[in-house]
Copies of this chain bind each other. A is one copy, B any other.
Amino acid sequence: MIELDKISSPEDIKKIPTEELNALSAELRSVLTGKLAAHGGHCGPNLGVVEATVALHYVFDAPHDKLVFDVSHQTYVHKMLTGRIGAFLDPAHYNDVTGYTCPRESEYDLFEIGHTSTSIALAVGLAKSRDLNGGKENVVAFIGDASLGGGEALEALDFAPTLGSNFIVVLNDNQMSIAENHGALYSHLEELRKTNGTAANNIFKALGYQYIYVEEGNNVAALIKAFRAAKNSDHAVLVHINTMKGMGLPVAEADKESFHYSMPFDPKTGALLNPSPAESYTEIFTRHMLVKMSENPNVVTMTAGTPGAFGFTPERRKMAGKQFVDVGICEQEAVAVAAGLAKGGSRPVFGVMATFIQRAYDQLSQEIAINNLPAVIVDFAGSVWGMSDMTHLGFFDIPLVSNIPNFIFLAPANAEEYLAMLDWSISQTDHPVFLRTPGGKVMHTDRPVNTDFFRYDIIREGEDVAIIGAGAFLTIASEAADLLRERGLNPTVINPRNLSQLDKTVLDRLRDYKTVITLEDGIVDGGFGQKVAAYLGNSPVKVHVLGLKKEFLDRYKAAEVLKANGLTPEQVAALV
């Protein structure tokens, strides 16, 4: 048996006899579990595919053969086998690798990926390019059952067989999404599993795939046999492997949803080492929605496969009953269903991460905005304090949504405003609303909330200098104003609240100011401040538009990014 730290490439495992590979997998899983517990990460997805990853690299010849992993959150073992095992063996090097495939790290990683359902289409492009160039390499898309339900995956699943050349899909069926799966496809996969792959009405065969079922998806020998049968095929093959999410870590096997992704935990008890603070905007949202739903049977809370991202635990989903809808990881469908619900007279509230609402721009524009339906989208982690992985950034949502006609883009600055906006959004029926949950720690105010959300809120009326702080950045505006007051100035501080419709009454009063500064928790390009600058462009007032630079950051620290963009209170005050 090879010592793990001697694995520098997949070549090193190809020399190992097949019968020793389950033992190798066990060793890899042990190291993996150690890192997961100490460092946090995607537990269940990686623990479930240890054997499949070993078998993939045993059979195929990456990087010549092309492996594309969907979402790529399940590639920890792939990284261990492709020259990066040090980042798993040595705690000092845990952060040397990202949590997703990363071409900057390794030629074995083809794409930076983090969103679902992309692998088959990306692989189709690679296969088509291969065919044009006369290449002979295998192209393999590795995709989970939950990701397969996403539209982009289904589009490409439909198209790939028409290439008429080598194309291999490995369907990693672990019978889970982040939470439970939703969709008729999953009853079909269950039927295929129950019949050892022999069920009538096989969707994959209907689409022309050669279909291979592997019941023991955590047995390396069975997987090797199947992958060898698929290798070098001259047509499309789908290998359906039945795996166990969280395999080998009892707490992850027992609570698959909590251990899809976990912060550092005790591997014996599963308890988080650093429990999150009691107060969070997601908790505030969820508790409020449970009350709203109990009061009004027409209110429906929706998710596209990420209920836990905003606090809808299994217990709470059960409480909400038929008023909670999870459509699977299908943001396009979710937005269209919200439109249909609103048209039908229900009051849909679709909770979604900022990085994932990107997947449904057209549906926001066409199904909801053109029809001016009163659907409510509640956006989470749309902030510099959101997720920091390059593929999960949350600070592009202001330009994405605020420029769609009819949408009211609301950016509350504190919990009281957030709840007032949520209540208003659900009660009114005149507008589609996009409500952006503030980032950072929960703020409170004892100011009464003016519910005319087409008006800016003047927090403090001053003169000469105005600082307009949108959403969570109102705090920066207030702190910068305090610094200016120490210098004897009397700045006006404004909470704009609405980032899609300008309050021209308030802005016109700033035309004879000396300086206006806008601050927003997102990129400046296409955002709120640029609208203010353009509106005041023909006035003598000087306008400074502050926010984040338009760039893809990776695993950044918010404080550093704020400083780099001139967004500390001191830097803002220094502009005056």
Contacts and interface: CB of A to CB of B under 8 A. Distances in A.
Interface residues of A, number: 114
Contacts of A539: 542
A157 to B, nearest CB: 8
A133 interface: yes
A498 interface: no
B405 A366 contact: no
Contact of A340 (B121, B322, B339, B370): B121
B542 A399 contact: no
A403 B188 CA distance: 41
Given A159-B327, A370-B390, A533-B534, A340 B129 contact: yes
Nearest to A554: B370
A553 to B, nearest CB: 9
Contact of A111 (B343, B529, B533): B343
Contact of A152 (B113, B133, B151, B185): B151
Nearest to A122: B340
A431 interface: no
A336 B122 contact: yes
Nearest to A323: B132
Given A133-B345, A201-B202, A327-B159, A128 B337 contact: yes
A159 B328 contact: yes
Given A403-B526, A531-B530, A538-B542, A151 B159 contact: no
A112 interface: yes
Interface in A497-546: 523-527, 529-531, 533-534, 536-540, 542-545
Interface string A178-222: 000011110110000000000011110111100000000000000
Contact of A159 (B124, B132, B330): B330
A358 interface: yes
B201 A151 contact: no
Contacts of A150: 151, 155
A288 interface: no
A225 B43 CA distance: 53
B550 A158 contact: no
Interface in A290-321: 297-298, 300
A336 B151 contact: no
A338 interface: yes
Interface in A115-135: 115, 118, 121-133
Given A155-B328, A537-B533, A538-B544, A340 B183 contact: no
Contact of A182 (B129, B162, B185): B162
A395 B102 CA distance: 35
A183 B162 contact: yes
Contacts of A540: 540
Nearest to A364: B358
A228 to B, nearest CB: 25
A524 B202 CA distance: 51
A472 B244 CA distance: 57
A545 B532 CA distance: 11
Contact of A344 (B125, B339, B365, B402): B125
Contacts of A359: 361-362
Interface in A395-417: 396, 399-400, 402-406
Contact of A125 (B161, B339, B400): B339
A325 interface: yes
Contact of A122 (B183, B343, B543): B343
A91 interface: no
Given A152-B336, A525-B402, A538-B542, A207 B188 contact: yes
B155 A341 contact: no
10 contacts: A125-B336, A125-B342, A152-B332, A156-B337, A158-B183, A158-B184, A203-B203, A396-B403, A526-B531, A538-B542
Given A122-B337, A126-B340, A201-B201, 17 more contacts: A118-B363, A122-B343, A125-B337, A128-B325, A128-B337, A128-B346, A132-B322, A149-B158, A151-B332, A152-B336, A156-B333, A158-B183, A188-B207, A200-B205, A526-B530, A530-B531, A537-B542
State the 6 A-B residue pairs at the shortest beta-carbon distance, nearest first. A125-B340, A151-B151, A129-B344, A121-B336, A537-B543, A526-B526
